[in-house]
Amino acid sequence: MARVKLECSNGDIVLDIHEDWAPLGVARFKELVEGALLDECRFFRVVTQPRPFVIQFGINGDPEVSAVWREKTIKDDPVKSSNTEGTFCFATAGANTRTTQFFINLSDNSFLDGQGFSPIGEVVEGMDVVRSICDAYGEAPDQGMIQSKGNEYLKSKFPDLDYIKSATLED
């Protein structure tokens, strides 16, 4: 197990990542943290209606960096832990399409287990910070525009989005 600290615009979030849950996913997450790929990433998708669901992040703010990583997919890990409140995993576009995007579960989303969403870790400190992430824009930010325009697009159209200032591995 390793620990990652996300210093965010609205406070700190501490994550425990579990290799025994998802070795491939944890290796990629560590690679992203160590390479500073999550720094300045916005929490661009916050689904709280009709019930708390997920908060998504992980598209790099620089379109050139984002483009390089979009094609670097990794295989899925088998689901060994459930998508309960506070766990986080890769967002995907289908089987074996994990890249750099993640979501934090805001409630018990165990129905995602059967869809292949394998948690790689859990929030151990700062769930109050997670819950306070700006949800004013819901799912309005367009992922295609984020990929092509990066933080320039997000800052101009969605200025109140919370974001990760820096992510550090603390194991």
Whether the predicted model's global pTM rises above the 0.95 cut:
yes
Q: Binning pLDDT at 50, 70 and 90, where does residue 128 land?
A: very high
Residue 171 has pLDDT above 80, yes or no: no
Q: Which fold has domain 2-169?
A: Cyclophilin (2.40.100)
Tens-place pLDDT, residues 117-126:
999 999 999 9
Give me the mean pLDDT over the 42-51 stretch.
Answer: 96
Give pLDDT, residue 100.
98
- Average pLDDT on 149-156 reads 98
Q: What is the C-alpha separation between 128 and 115, in angstroms, rounded?
A: 28
